Amino acid sequence: MTENMPEAGEMSDIRAGLDEVCALLAKPSPQALDSAAAILSGVVADLSAARRRRGRHAQRDEYRGIRRASRLARILLEKAAAYHAGWNAWLGSLTGGYCPGGAAAAPMARGRISIEG
């Protein structure tokens, strides 16, 4: 194996991480989503490092599997976002009524501060 090619085990670990993220997203809970975010962050870092090392060489089967798993994770995340947007609209209609155009008003948000360092 050349220096530019990631090891097959490394690619399998990346795919396993994506599979774990998909499993967590398929049955979401606040704890599962936190875990999925942490795992996904590591997967992205590992995949970026592997892509820098690999040059044009790749284990095609592993990359296909990674691509498939990442598409599934994207779809699950999009569905979760749409689900929460629907609940957000419903909550807005309960707390703020409707706008003149008929759309639900934005929900009244509690004050929150989020700081990342």
pLDDT per position as a tens digit, 54-103: 655 556 777 788 888 889 988 988 888 888 788 877 777 777 777 788 77
Give this prediction's pTM.
0.62
Is pLDDT larger for residue 51 or for residue 56? 51
Distance between CA atoms of residues 104 and 100, nearest Å:
9
User: Using an 8 Å Cβ cutoff, are 15 and 60 in contact?
Assistant: no
Residue 1 reports pLDDT greater than 50: no
Confidence label for 115 from pLDDT (cuts 50, 70 and 90): low
* One-letter amino acid of 18: L
In the chain, domain spans: 8-96
CA distances from 102 to 42, 86, 88 (A): 43, 15, 15
Give the containing element (helix H, strand E) for 24: helix 8-26
Q: Which pLDDT score, from 0 to 100, does residue 19 have?
A: 92
